[in-house]
A and B are shown apart, each in its own frame.
Chain A
Amino acid sequence: MPAAPSDDRLQRRPDAALKLQFSLRSSAISPRERQAFQASLDGLRLPKARVGTPYEARIELGATLRQSAPEVRDAEFALVRDAGFAEIGLTPRLDDDVLLLAGTPTSETTDAPLELEIYVDEEPFATVALPWGVRPDLWSLWKNLPSPSGPYPVEDQASQAVGVPRTDKLVLAAGRRGRSHEHRGQFREDAFAVKIGAPGGWNFFAVADGAGSAKFSRQGAKLACETVVDRLALRFELSYRQGEIPSPLFSERRRRARPDDAPTYALYDGTNAPPALVAVFHCALYETFMRVVAERDARNQTLPPGERPAQLRDFYSTLLCCAVRKYRSGWAILSYWVGDGAFAIYGPGGDSSQVVSLGEPDGGEFAGQTRFFTSKSEIALEPIQRRFRAVVLRDFDALVMATDGVADPYFEVADDLRSPRKWQDFWNLRGPGDLFDGVFEREIAPDERARRLLEGLRFKVPDNHDDRALLLLLNPDRFADAPASRR
């Protein structure tokens, strides 16, 4: 189905006559050399320009002449006249012996050639036509086709806002189908899940990104999120009952006795955290894994004729999940992260110049080679220990869970996730059309904040069109002023 022409196309200039007239003055250029010069110019190829994208092309007059006429040393070039460029937002100018065509084009042209009119010693000598044009704005090329029909339908977008009882913090979560999937009419493959106020005062959050290459990854991501928050809640409750949740990390009694003992923050991984905590995650993750296995088996029970049996890899998804609890003297955050994206605590201990990454994003040697939750090799003690984190802290500004669709545009490499500066830039994304546009304004309802965040997920960053999911646990008032201005 062809897309309706965008507004940009209406600005098309059918009669675009783009001319650059320049003169060459030299005491000793032979007719043969002129011909050679003309032929070389004729062989030049300029990249085409695009509406809205900064453009610069260099026409190397001097170098071209020197190739054709090595003997000529006193050549002087002058730009005599240009036509048609001002209307499309480009400015030609001569920089010594290089003709520059620069600017950000404002309207499209037909692919009419760019005419170079050559004057030699004031006399018109030749015209060279170079293939050229201004193409439509990149953003106008994206279509928005509905999701297909098929098994495991999902909504193209979702958002949620919910306060965490007895704390100053609010969960804001939003997920949106990426431009690439809109363009091809494919499903959103990101998911998130929130479970607030489970027994024991724990709260559970999950974010997942289904693998682009796996055909049911949308379901894998959804099941992973929904199951893991449920299972974590159950496992925590069981462990509490059996007295397995150990006291050293979280002892209320100890804190009350010596309130100054509460660490600004302390970070543990799966090797030095109490084994019972890692075991809770191990059990919940195993059960989540088995839920996906059951889904695969159910699918294969009623396999449509001709369809190959589903495999676990068809449900591949990343997974970021955590358990969060507020104590009188501080917070405990226990987390598990497999795959890419971003998972961090910003402003631990109330220090906005710090950030704690809750693990490492899994990136391969080449892009797109990440790790997935439903790999058999991941559901074992060693990898879970490696991916587990436990943080105890007096306070924090924000807990952030993001799929790579949100993380990649702003944190290009793994190191960026540990850079407080990058994080401050992140929170400052609040201009029109930016991720946090209007989200942190004072005195707005939580639902409205979530709605604005969902809208913000439409942000335009070139080359970043993946599905996007972002979950924040924060006190929006602390972000009402941009972090930089708070300092």
Chain B
Amino acid sequence: MARRLPIYILIDASGSMHGKAIQEVKNGLETLLESLQQDPYALGTVWLSLISYGREARVLVPLTELDLFALPKIDAPQTAPTNLGEGLELLLEQYDKEVVKGSAERKGDWLPILVVMTDGVPTDVKLYKETAQKIATATPRDGAPSETAQAKYRFGRVVACAAGPEAKAEVLKDFADEVVELERMDGPSFAAFCQFVSDTIGYCSQAPTREPQELPPPPPGMRFV
């Protein structure tokens, strides 16, 4: 078994995403997948998982080798809260099950990459705060080095996308080391975000331990928080 680079993508499937918005997400992911599946380096190492959250969180696709990943149908109901806390909780369960740590018998995975998109704010605030604290990135946030030592779930990169006027980028900084703000949740904006994610993954799959400041710049029109 080769070293894997696990990528977890969390998709907002709350009521506000119903209809066109979720379709745009699907289109964006399709393009993302298409581009990654032509990158021989990513093909050798990337494994993808897709999780949706709304009223409840669901594993749409468990961690799957990039080349065998087929995008499922993704729906958002007409009404559902934004239970991001539940989404993160399920993510961490999957992390426990799927991410391989190194041992004498087996090479460990690269530190996973987490991508979270939302167009709102977490409605399950308490659970959200709890789970967000358990997520540690390779680089400490806000110069707080002790945090990474405590947090159990280590990630190489955590990128969050706050899409549309309702989303609060500040809130997502609880767990993400990079928050990308999209002014609107429309096709072109989300496509640009997916391109950014694709670049990040492509870059990380080539050198998963590379320092974050050397990451490719985000596409124009995208604000960093």
Contacts and interface: CB of A to CB of B under 8 A. Distances in A.
Contact of A367 (B37, B38, B104, B208): B208
Contact of B2 (A50, A135, A462): A462
Contacts of B108: 363-367
B72 interface: yes
Contacts of B126: none
Interface stretch (B41-49, B81-89, B143-151): B41-49
Given A213-B207, A462-B44, A412 B68 contact: no
Nearest to A370: B209
B152 interface: no
B113 to A, nearest CB: 12
Interface string B156-198: 0000000000000000000000000000000000000000000
A414 interface: yes
B29 to A, nearest CB: 12
A418 to B, nearest CB: 10
A363 B44 CA distance: 20
B223 interface: no
Q: Which range contains the number of B residues in contact with the other chain?
A: 35 or more
A367 B209 CA distance: 9
B20 interface: no
Nearest to B34: A111
Contact of A48 (B45, B70, B73, B105): B70
Contact of B73 (A43, A53, A142): A43
Contact of B110 (A135, A142, A367, A413): A367
Interface residues of A, number: 36
Contacts of A45: 70-73
A145 interface: no
Contacts of A7: none
B107 A212 contact: no
A123 interface: no
Given A47-B70, A413-B106, A413-B107, A465 B101 contact: no
B105 A368 contact: no
A136 B69 CA distance: 16
Nearest to A463: B2
A415 B105 contact: yes
Contact of A368 (B3, B67, B104): B3
B209 A368 contact: yes
Interface in B78-127: 101-111
B70 A412 contact: no
B208 A368 contact: yes
Interface string A135-153: 1001101100000000000
A429 B201 CA distance: 33
Given A47-B70, A180-B41, A463-B3, A363 B210 contact: no
B210 A366 contact: no
Nearest to A212: B207
A46 interface: yes
Nearest to B106: A413
Contacts of B111: 366
A356 B118 CA distance: 54
A144 B134 CA distance: 42
Interface in A137-173: 138-139, 141-142
Contact of A415 (B67, B71, B104, B210): B104
Contacts of A415: 104-105
Nearest to A418: B104
Chain A, interface SS category:
loop
Given A183-B41, A366-B101, A412 B72 contact: no
Given A180-B206, A212-B210, A465 B44 contact: yes
Contacts of B210: 212-213
B70 A463 contact: no
B43 A138 contact: yes
A46 to B, nearest CB: 6
A368 B5 CA distance: 11
B130 interface: no
A363 B106 CA distance: 10
B3 A367 contact: yes
A141 B43 CA distance: 10
A364 B108 CA distance: 8
Contact of B206 (A139, A184, A365, A412): A184
Nearest to B40: A141
B102 A365 contact: yes
Contacts of A142: 40
Nearest to A44: B70
A104 interface: no
Given A138-B43, A180-B41, A365-B102, A412 B71 contact: no
A264 interface: no
A30 interface: no
A366 B155 CA distance: 11
A212 B207 CA distance: 6
Interface in A13-56: 43, 45-48, 50, 53
A464 interface: yes
Contacts of B208: 367-368
A366 B109 contact: yes
Interface string A365-397: 111110000000000000000000000000000
A435 B109 CA distance: 26
20 contacts: A45-B71, A47-B69, A138-B43, A139-B40, A141-B38, A179-B40, A211-B209, A212-B207, A212-B209, A367-B3, A367-B208, A368-B110, A412-B1, A412-B106, A414-B104, A415-B105, A462-B2, A462-B44, A463-B2, A464-B2
Given A367-B208, A415-B105, 7 more contacts: A45-B71, A131-B70, A184-B41, A213-B210, A365-B101, A412-B107, A464-B44
Interface of A: 43, 45-48, 50, 53, 131, 135, 138-139, 141-142, 179-180, 183-184, 211-213, 363-369, 408, 412-415, 462-465
Interface of B: 1-3, 37-41, 43-45, 67-73, 101-111, 154, 206-211
